[in-house]
C-alpha cells in the first residue's frame, strides 16, 4: 500500500492589535532603537490584549486557514496546537480552541517544543497522515510570549511578541513530487539552562525539593524567560547550518533547488547566516522579524502566511522551513508547494 501525500491547503495568521515599538521599550528599560535594530532586526512586536488568551489568537488564525481551505471545523479530523504559553496547565489549549471553533469529538492535543514547535508539529502530523490516521488536520502555532517576559530584563524583553499562525493539512493520493517531502528533528537537553523559563510553582534548586513550598496565589510568581544570549546565538547558527545540510542530503536536494526559506524569526543575523549557508539571496527568505519580533512557535507559520499573502508562493516551489528553540530543540521541514 502506497503512503498518502500531505499538502497544505489552507493558511492563516493573526496578530493582536496592540503594537509595541522600540521607542516604547526605550522608556521601559535601558536600551535604544538602534541597539535593538542592529542586533536583532526587530522594530516592533504585537502584544496580546488583557482580555485575550493564547487560544483566542489560535482561533482567529484557524478561522482564516479554514476559510482559505474552503472547509469548516466539522471537516477536520484532528487539531494540534504548538505553544509555550498555554491557557491552562491542563487541559490542552487545543481542546479550548476546538470548543471555541465549535468542533467536537475529534482528537485535539498540544505539543511543546518552544520555538521549534511548529516544525516538530508538522513532522508529527505528516507521519500520522501518511499512515492513514487522518484526512485533514488543523495545525496551529500560537503564543502569548509577552506574558512570560521579564519586562525589566533588557536582554530578553526586546525580543518577543505574540501571535498565531495556522495551516490546514490534507492527505491525498500518493505523490512524490508535491506536498510535504520530509523532516529532520533534533534535541539536546544538556543545553537547557542557556534558554529557559522556570515554572512559577517549581523549586528552582535541588535543595528546595526538601523544603515546604507555598503554592498560594500570592507566592505563585510569574514564569519569565532567561537567556544567555551569546551562547544561544553561537549554538543556533551552528545547529541550523547543520540541520539545513542534513535535510537536503537526506532528501537528495541541492541548496540551489530551494526556492524559498521560511526560518524561525528570532534574530536577523541568525536568519542571514542560514541564508548564506544556502547561498540564498535575502529576497528568497521570509522575513517578519522586523514587525513581529520572536513569536516562538507562531513565527514559522506567521512567516509562511506573510509569504502567502504577499503572493510570493507559487505552485511547484521548493520550500524549506527551519527553527531553533530552547531545549535545545531544532529541526527542518522540506515541502513542494502544491496550493
Q: Torsion angle, CA of 334/112/298/288, rounded to 10 degrees? A: -70
Q: Give the position of cell 484532528.
A: 78
Residue pair 97/58 in contact (Cβ under 8 Å)? The answer is: yes
Give the DSSP H or E segment for 101: helix 93-101
CB 231 within 8 A of CB 194: yes
Spot the catalytic one: 22, 46, 157, 264. 264
Give, as one character, the DSSP assignment of residue 319: E
Instruction: Indicate if 294 belongs to the active site.
Output: yes
Does 157 participate in catalysis according to the annotation?
Answer: no
Q: Spell out the alpha helix ranges (H) of 183-278.
A: 229-250, 268-277
Selected catalytic residue, list 7, 22, 292, 294: 294
Exposure letters 224-252 (e unless 16+ CB within 10 A, then b): bbbbeeeebbebbbebbbebbeebbeeee
Residues 6+ apart with CB under 8 A from 305: 11, 12, 13, 61, 165
54-69 and 93-101 are packed helices; what angle lies between their axes, rounded to 10 degrees?
A: 50
What CA–CA distance (Å, rounded) separates 162 from 146? 7
Are 285 and 261 in contact by the 8 Å Cβ rule? The answer is yes
Give the single-character DSSP code of 206.
G
Cα(201)–Cα(203) distance, integer angstroms: 7
Pairing of strands 78-82, 136-144: parallel
| Catalytic-role residue among 7, 22, 46, 115 | 115
Q: Does 264 participate in catalysis according to the annotation?
A: yes
What angle do the packed helices 268-277 and 229-250 form, to 10 degrees? 30
Give catalytic residues, as residue numbers. 115, 264, 294
Amino acid at each position: 500500500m502506497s503512503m498518502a501525500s500531505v499538502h497544505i491547503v489552507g493558511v492563516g495568521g493573526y496578530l493582536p492589535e496592540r503594537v509595541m515599538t522600540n521607542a516604547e521599550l526605550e522608556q521601559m528599560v535601558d536600551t535604544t532603537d538602534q541597539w535593538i535594530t542592529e542586533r536583532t532586526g526587530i522594530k516592533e512586536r504585537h502584544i496580546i490584549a488583557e482580555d485575550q488568551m493564547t487560544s483566542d489568537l489560535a482561533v482567529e488564525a484557524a478561522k482564516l486557514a479554514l476559510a482559505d481551505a474552503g472547509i469548516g471545523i466539522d471537516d477536520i479530523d484532528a487539531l494540534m496546537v504548538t505553544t509555550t504559553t498555554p491557557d491552562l496547565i491542563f487541559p490542552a489549549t487545543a481542546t479550548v480552541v476546538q470548543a471555541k471553533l465549535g468542533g467536537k469529538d475529534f482528537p485535539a492535543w498540544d505539543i511543546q517544543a518552544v520555538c521549534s514547535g511548529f516544525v516538530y508539529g508538522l513532522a508529527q502530523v505528516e507521519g500520522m497522515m501518511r499512515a492513514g490516521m487522518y484526512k485533514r488536520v488543523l495545525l496551529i502555532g500560537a503564543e502569548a510570549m509577552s506574558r512570560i517576559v521579564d519586562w525589566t530584563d533588557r536582554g530578553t524583553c526586546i525580543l518577543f511578541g505574540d501571535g498565531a499562525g495556522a495551516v490546514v493539512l490534507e492527505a491525498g493520493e500518493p505523490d512524490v513530487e508535491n506536498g510535504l517531502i520530509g523532516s529532520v528533528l533534533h534535541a539536546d537537553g544538556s543545553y537547557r539552562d542557556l534558554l529557559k523559563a522556570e515554572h512559577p510553582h517549581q523549586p528552582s534548586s535541588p535543595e528546595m525539593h526538601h523544603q515546604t513550598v507555598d503554592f498560594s496565589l500570592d507566592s505563585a510568581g510569574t514564569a519569565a524567560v532567561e537567556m544567555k544570549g551569546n551562547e544561544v546565538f553561537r549554538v543556533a547558527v551552528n545547529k541550523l547550518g547543520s540541520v539545513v545540510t542534513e535535510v537536503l542530503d537526506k532528501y537528495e536536494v541541492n541548496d540551489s533547488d530551494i526556492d524559498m526559506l521560511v526560518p524561525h524569526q528570532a534574530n536577523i543575523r541568525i536568519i542571514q547566516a542560514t541564508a548564506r549557508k544556502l547561498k540564498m539571496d535575502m529576497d528568497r527568505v521570509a522575513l517578519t522579524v522586523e514587525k513581529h519580533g520572536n513569536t516562538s512557535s507562531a513565527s514559522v507559520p506567521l512567516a509562511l502566511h506573510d509569504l502567502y499573502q504577499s503572493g510570493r508562493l507559487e505552485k511547484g516551489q521548493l520550500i524549506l522551513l527551519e527553527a531553533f528553540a530552547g531545549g535545545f530543540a531544532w529541526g527542518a521541514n522540506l515541502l513542494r508547494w502544491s496550493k
